Amino acid sequence: MSALAGLGAPADPEAAYYQTIEEFFVSRRGDPLFLSNPDWLLIRGWRTAGTPLRVVLRGIADALDGHAHSWGRHRKVGSLAYCAAEVEIARERWQRALALGEEPGPGPDAALSAFADALDEAPLVAGERVHAAGLAAEIRGWAGDLPPLRVIEAMLAEREAALLARLRGLLTADRLAELEGAADAELAPYASRMPAPVLAQIRRDSVARRVLALFGIPRLSLFHL
């Protein structure tokens, strides 16, 4: 059965990304085997690269549909790595469509403007207020002269890391420990099921989301649209 079966939908959205991919792959493959450590690390790579969940699922579906009509269809797909090439193709299609404004929902320019608005409205004072306002202005500048998506993601990740460091400094040790404890409690069911680097990545993302949310700021990534 699935490594995470029986846990139900995770409350933590970062963990949900991993669980949903695992459950979809296992159900489509038709063989209730656990994901291997390399499989989990592959998912981590997709998540770190900012590949949206639906794009990953589309790539997995395309890979397994192709396998079902291939000469080797009688052989089971043994690893999630079999789907990696199709996931990359799906990711490239998504990026092109997003850049052309053909994706549903807000485009990159609208998303960047929303990030800037959230930064302007964040309940901050003194130096943190100045930093947030400067970051908002910088992000609005990108929206007016849109860089390539991979460049946007890299710049957003760098700015978010710096912002998080400042916001964490505003929290008391007890408040930060409370946020980290809440993340650990939600991720406890996965502790023995995933490789340590994957669990550590999910924890970092979970804590980051919680810190930013205290100030009304979303994760600064197109992935989170």
89 compared with 27, residue with greater pLDDT = 89
Q: Does the structure show a pLDDT above 80 at 110? A: yes
- Output the pLDDT for position 165: 95
In whole angstroms, give the CA distance from residue 53 to residue 59.
Answer: 10
Task: Give the per-residue pLDDT at 44.
Answer: 93
User: What is the three-class DSSP state of 32?
Assistant: coil
Q: What is the per-residue pLDDT for 216? A: 95
> What per-residue string of b and e applies to 44-82 under the rule 16 or more CB within 10 Å gives b?
bebbeebbbbebbbbbbbbbbeebeeeeeeeeebeebeb
**Contact of 149 with 99, CB cutoff 8 Å:** yes
Segment 139-185, tens digit of pLDDT: 999 987 888 878 888 899 999 999 999 999 999 999 999 999 999 99
Band (pLDDT 50/70/90 cuts) for residue 116 is very high
**pLDDT (0 to 100) of residue 1:** 39
Span 93-120, mean pLDDT? 83
Q: Over the chain, what is the mean pLDDT?
A: 86
pLDDT, residue 149, reads 79
